[in-house]
Amino acid sequence: MAANDTTPLIERRSIDYIPEAERHGRLLSQFTLWMGANLQITAIVTGALAVVLGGDVFWSLIGLLIGQLIGGGVMALHAAQGPKLGLPQMISSRVQFGVYGAAIPIVLVCLMYLGFTATGTVLSGQALGQLFGVSDSVGILIFASVIVLVTVLGYRVIHFIGRVASIIGVIAFVYLFSRLISQTDVGALLQIRHFSWSSFLLAVSLAASWQIAFGPYVADYSRYLPSATSSVKTFLAAGAGSVIGAQVAMVLGVFAAAMSNGQFAGHEVAYIVGLSGTGATAALLYFSIAFGKVTISTLNSYGSFMCIATIISGFRGRLEVTRLQRLVFVLAIVGTATLIALLGQHSFLGAFKSFILFLLAFFTPWSAINLVDYYCITRERYDVPALADPNGRYGRWNLLGIGVYVFGVLVQLPFISTKFYTGPLVAALGDVDISWIIGLVLPAAVYYLCAKKWHSAVPDHLILPPEQGATPTKSGLFAQA
């Protein structure tokens, strides 16, 4: 199951179906990739928000863990689709939304990628600025250049960096925890328990939103695994890596914020590194922070490239993604995210909290529909070649999927609490955003009931493209030559 020597370093596939002969990789790589993606500074900041915004340490830790398990379960269910379908996550949405209709959630996914890439670039710019003695803006530009390079190289390099980031992350976090424990009375902090539903639910929401946001692209990084790979083992490998990595990082953030006396906000990177002192150790931690962000920022940029390719292939027909086209797409994506980072770097913390909660309104309904359809309606019986044909089984627009998706977004509006918009029922709930719960449960129930009655014909079995004499179709998928 390891990659063979003939596998090119630079990935040549994009939204293509991955033929069985090209499948490679091990489940351990799923664990290390997602652990590395989560053992990083943005996860620390997310955990810190639970305390910065009013929670105590004990109940923040409990709330974050519950949110990790709920959101991580949703994320891992998407991961299990990758080996079976051999496709990127969002192109499979054509089953629920239609070949053209799938562009609706995909466009929103692209906006999510831009936001996460931009916010991660802000923190990485702070770390590189401190490491090289330059301004944060110059650090942002250095980091963006690295992301372009790794994204263009693609799948194999991303997984390799994920493994390295896991090792570096574990070492850095063990050291930071040891320093934190030596500088504060952890037991005393855990004894302060002032339970508040609003603060508790905020912690749950922060962690759940963090995990659910991986859903639109998690299968992109499991699609090369052999199709015989166990779905349960894929679920456990990706889910455990993501949940463990994120919880460890967020626990560190909770304790750091609790002992900061208000010095954390606005100086996130400097405060975390300051726990270790100065000199060579601080320099190594700045490096580990920047390197830790490489994995997740590359995932975001790679996912954006895949989404753009999917959108164009659906509307304009054949799209042969050359290396030059890939480079142009990636430069445009990372360039836009970098511009956002440069313009918004001084108001990072508040904007980030609003962003990660607001985006859930658009992704939880998509996730609910996709998972219910795959596991409960079609039961993995997709017609993969038909995903390329607007006149085929799935059609141009699937009004059922689109209608339930719009319902899922609208039904959350009374419960959303962000700087962008606050719903009328938020005040009665202690100013807590519970829209993601509504956005998961109601669309899932409505889609299940409606699809059982009005769903289009489902194949008797999973239909994959023939792999002998295959040629690219209009969408980049494969059909018999």
> Residue 46 belongs to what H/E stretch?
helix 41-52
Q: What's the average model confidence in pLDDT over 206-224?
A: 88
pLDDT in tens, 329-369: 788 888 888 888 887 776 655 566 566 557 778 889 999 99
Of all residues in the chain, the percent with pLDDT exceeding 70 is: 87
Can you state the angle between helices 360-372 and 57-79, rounded to 10 degrees? 50
Model confidence at 155, pLDDT cuts 50, 70, 90, reads low
Tell me which residue of 35, 117, 67 sits closest to 434, measured CA to CA: 67
Tell me which residue of 349, 175, 180, 182 sits closest to 259, measured CA to CA: 180
Residue 380 has pLDDT above 70, yes or no: yes
Model confidence at 406, pLDDT cuts 50, 70, 90, reads very high
CATH T-level fold of 23-362: Hydantoin permease (1.10.4160)
Spatial contact of 360 and 439, defined as CB atoms under 8 Å apart = yes
Q: What's the average model confidence in pLDDT over 391-412?
A: 93
pLDDT recorded at residue 181: 81
Which amino acid type is present at position 362?
F
pLDDT in tens, 100-115: 998 888 888 887 777 7
107-116, 162-171, 200-209, 326-335 — which one is most confidently predicted on average?
200-209
pLDDT recorded at residue 120: 77
pLDDT in tens, 249-269: 999 889 888 887 766 666 667
Cα–Cα distance, 334 to 141 (Å, whole number): 10
pLDDT recorded at residue 403: 95
Residue 14 has pLDDT above 60, yes or no: yes
Q: What's the average model confidence in pLDDT over 277-292?
A: 76
Cα–Cα distance, 303 to 151 (Å, whole number): 9
User: Which comes out higher in pLDDT, residue 54 or 67?
Assistant: 67
Residue 444 has pLDDT above 90, yes or no: yes
Range in 78-87, 89-98, 201-210, 451-460 with the lowest mean pLDDT? 451-460
pLDDT recorded at residue 267: 65
pLDDT recorded at residue 478: 43
The conformation of residue 161, written as its DSSP 8-state character, comes to H
Kindly report the number of other CB atoms within 10 A of residue 406's CB atom.
13
Tell me which residue of 434, 405, 337, 438 sits closest to 112, measured CA to CA: 337
pLDDT recorded at residue 321: 62
3-class secondary structure, 133? coil
Mean pLDDT of the chain: 82
> Residue 478 belongs to what H/E stretch?
strand 478-480
